[in-house]
Copies of this chain bind each other. A is one copy, B any other.
Amino acid sequence: MRTIRIGMLGFGTVGTGVARLLTESKTLIEQRVGAELQLKSIADIDTRTDRGIALPPGVLINDAQKVLNDPQIDIIVETIGGETVAKTFMLQAIANGKQVVTANKALLAKHGNELIGAAARYGVDLAFEASVGGCMPIIKTLRESLVGNHIQSMIGILNGTCNYILSKITDEGITFDAALAEAQANGYAEADPSLDVDGLDAAHKLAILSGLAYGMRINFDDIYIEGISKITPLDIMFAEQFGYRIKLLAISKNHRQTVEARVHPAMIPFGNILSNVNGTLNAISVSGDAVDEILLSGHGAGMMPTASAVLGDLVDLARNLISGVSQRIPVLGFQQATIADIPIMPMAEIVTHYYFRFAALDRPGVLSKISGILGKHEISIKSVHQKGRKTNGAVPVVMLTHHAREADVSQALREIAAIDVVRDDPMVIRIEDETEEY
């Protein structure tokens, strides 16, 4: 039986999961692949901590160069994270003709085009299923299964930390800060949670998915990003009353000449399966002209679900090596020469439904002032709700709109915030509801 030799860079959570699967599922993998997948070397600066895995002596070393330059090693798995060392090592691995597997979404979102170009030049494969949605096979689905479809849109819950926090606020009526503290206590949020709760992590993933879905160069910089820290139990309660749940959504829509790509909290109707994806779970719904819509859901993070996705990549690459092929599928699923520079639509041009909550003084004429400004900016009001609960002396006035343009909404809200009877900045949450009339 042939042996495929794997070198791993980084021995943290994901790396440990990969090592565990290669050990615990050894027989299964051999039955599937018809070859041994041998973890020959792991490089990590920490060679002392016990990760609970019995490695043969000499496997765990502290010199990445020994792994990168080992002629016996066929595949390099990068699980270091970050964008500096990881990038240098990956480019080196590619230049050395190694097949490369990574779960590093930040790196791919920001430097993916460069890495893809290098892989194409050196004729190696670059696999990254674990970078988006953990164990959900969304990358394989876009690259291989939906190939007959023009992808029209993707709506995803791509950050488990945010989904956990929003589920907690929804279920228990606690504040964002309290829910975040719980997430941290349970290991679902980092000590510095900003990458997750500010929406950056979801945006990294959306950048990668948009590249795969539309055959476009990966563009992270132009994605609109808004986090969940301003979401209050009050808004979640109002949302429930209107039949909506609030999720941090990564949304991308294909307008052919431009692409919408945005990450922000949004309300979705109870009837949408995504509204029932709770806790740390991830999910993504993809619309295409032939499939209509398909949905994938699963753990988007965690040691073993992420390792499962890495194993899928490792087996794919092993099957290529055994068959003697590489680049059987282009990295983004489109021939490199056809990858287009499709601009991301400026946020100001987005058209969607809106939820506004104003803290207004309870005086006659307030509603007329607010709705007058909205009307002036061609924002048509679907319903108005004045609930009579006083928050810091003001009454919450909630409005739902018909379709409106983001630029008009921004301008109108600036004018409304300047009215003397409106306290604080208005709360704005977009509504993704395709069941709404147009």
On A, residues with C-beta under 8 Å from B are: 17, 21, 24-25, 28-29, 31-34, 129, 135-137, 140-141, 144-150, 215, 273, 276-277, 283, 288-299, 304-305, 307-312, 314-316, 319-320, 322-325, 328-330, 333-335, 338
State A188–B141 Cα separation when bound (angstroms).
Answer: 26
Q: A137-B145, A335-B34 are in contact. Are A299 and B292 (CB under 8 A)?
A: yes
**Inter-subunit contact A148/B294 (CB<8 Å):** no
**Residues on the B chain within 8 Å of A141, using CB:** 137, 140
| Copies of this protein, total | 2
**Cβ–Cβ contact B298 & A147, under 8 A:** no
By a CB distance below 8 angstroms, the chain B residues around A137 are 137, 140-141, 144-145, 294
CB of A146 within 8 A of CB of B294, answer no
Pick the 4 closest A-B CB pairs, nearest first: A148-B311, A294-B298, A290-B308, A137-B145
Known: A29-B148, A140-B145, A148-B311. 14 other contacts (CB 8 A): A28-B147, A29-B147, A32-B330, A145-B309, A146-B308, A146-B312, A273-B297, A283-B295, A289-B304, A291-B298, A292-B298, A292-B299, A323-B325, A324-B325
Q: List 22 A-B contacts (CB under 8 A).
A: A28-B147, A29-B148, A31-B335, A32-B147, A32-B335, A129-B145, A135-B145, A135-B290, A135-B294, A137-B141, A145-B312, A146-B312, A148-B311, A273-B297, A290-B311, A291-B298, A291-B308, A292-B298, A292-B299, A293-B299, A295-B298, A296-B296
Contact of A294 among B32, B296, B315 (CB under 8 A): B296
Cross-chain contact of A320 among B24, B292, B312, B328 (Cβ < 8 A): B328
Contacts of A17 in B (CB 8 A): 290
* B328-A323 in contact (CB<8A): yes
Q: Which residues from chain B contact A319 at a C-beta distance below 8 Å? A: 328-329
Q: A31 touches which one: B32, B215, B292 (CB < 8 A)?
A: B215
Contact indicator A305/B325 (Cβ below 8 Å): no
Which single residue of chain B is at the shortest CB-CB distance from A37?
B148
Given contacts A31-B338, A323-B325, contact A148 B312 (CB under 8 A): yes
Determine the chain B residues whose CB is within 8 A of the CB of A329 once the complex forms: 319
User: CB distance B292 to A295 under 8 Å?
Assistant: no
Distance between A420 CB and nearest chain B CB, rounded to angstroms: 46
B297 touches A147 (CB 8 A): no
A287 vs chain B, min Cβ distance (A): 11
Contact of B308 with A288 in the complex, beta carbons under 8 Å: yes
- Partner of A325 from the list B135, B294, B325 (CB cut-off 8 Å) is B325
Minimal beta-carbon separation of A300 from chain B (angstroms): 11
- B32 in contact with A334 (CB, 8 Å): yes
Distance (whole angstroms) from the CB of A276 to the closest CB of chain B: 5
Closest B residue to A215 by CB, please name it.
Answer: B31
Q: Which residues of B contact A297 (CB under 8 A)?
A: 273, 294-297
In the bound assembly, the distance between CA atoms of A150 and B315 in angstroms comes to 15
Contact A140 B149 (CB under 8 A): no
With a CB–CB cut-off of 8 A, which chain B residues contact A323? 323, 325, 328
> Which of A273, A291, A329, A334: most chain B CB closer than 10 A?
A291
CA distance A273 to B296 in the complex (A): 11
User: B148 touching A315 by the CB < 8 A rule?
Assistant: yes
Task: Decide if B140 touches A144 in the complex (CB within 8 Å).
Answer: yes
